[in-house]
Every structure is written in C-alpha cells, then in structure tokens.
Amino acid sequence: MEKKHDKERAIANSDTKVITVDLQAVLMTPVQQASALYYKTKLACHNYTIYDLTTRDVKVYFWHEGEGDLSANSFASCLTDYIEQLPENILELIIFSDGSNYQNRNAVLSNALLDLRTRKQIKCTIV
C-alpha cells in the first residue's frame, strides 16, 4: 500500500521519484553442458537493477567477480551513480528494497546518501 501511495505521489509531483532496487541471483557464465569444464571455467556475475516505478525505466549495473564483490561499497557505488545522474528538479527519492543488510541497510549506504543529501540537496528515503 505504501509503495502504491508513493508511486501516485511521484506521478503527481515531478520533483519526486520512486524506485525499487534489487540484486538478481548470481549468474554463472558461460553456460556449458560439459560437466568436466563446469567448475573450471565458470565466472560469477552480479546484476544490480534499479527500476523507476513511474517511468518504468530500468538501470542495470552488471559486473563479474573479477571486477568487484558483493560488499556494501559495491551497492552504494551503484546507487550513488544512479542518483548523481538524476535531473536537477528531483528533490526527493524514495527507494524500496528488500531487507538485506549488506545491500541496502548499512552504514556505508547511509553515509553515501547523507553525502548526496548535502551535495545535491536531494532527500533519500529507504523503505
């Protein structure tokens, strides 16, 4: 109900944006049928997705285990990159996420959002 209410508010107010964020299950690549090669050549890939509820735009951050890990820093970097690219007229951002502490509810992300609040003057709320 809260998400529906916030979405309606964002549709009515052009200065508000409502997004959902989630990490997809680990993708193992490449897909192979040969069982002898299965464990020797697999690369774990991660897909962090940001979905705008009002415009239905999707932003995907994709990396493999050689480029980054699944730490709070990785997710904070993805989310702050997204927020930095928002238009200047956005004054409030409401973020819906799952309850994962290492992804969405931690001190690293809170500090990153606080920094954005002071620099960009945008109010960020994680629900």
Pairing of strands 58-64, 43-52: antiparallel
| Domain residue ranges in the chain | 2-126
Q: What is the pLDDT of residue 57?
A: 94
pLDDT digits (tens, 9 = 90+) for 10-42: 999 899 999 999 988 777 776 666 665 656 667
Task: Please write the tens of the pLDDT for every residue from 105-126.
Answer: 788 888 988 988 888 888 888 8
pTM of structure: 0.82
Write down the CATH number for the domain with range 2-126: 3.30.420
pLDDT at 2 over 70: yes
pLDDT, position 54: 92
Q: In what helix (H) or strand (E) does residue 45 lie, and over which residues does it extend?
A: strand 43-52
* The residue to which tokens 């069982």 are assigned: 35
Give the closest residue to 45 by CA, choosing from 17, 59, 66, 60. Answer: 66
For 96-113, give the DSSP string: E--S-TTTTSSHHHHHHH
Q: Going by C-beta distance under 8 Å and a sequence separation of 6 or more, which residues neighbour residue 32? A: 38, 41
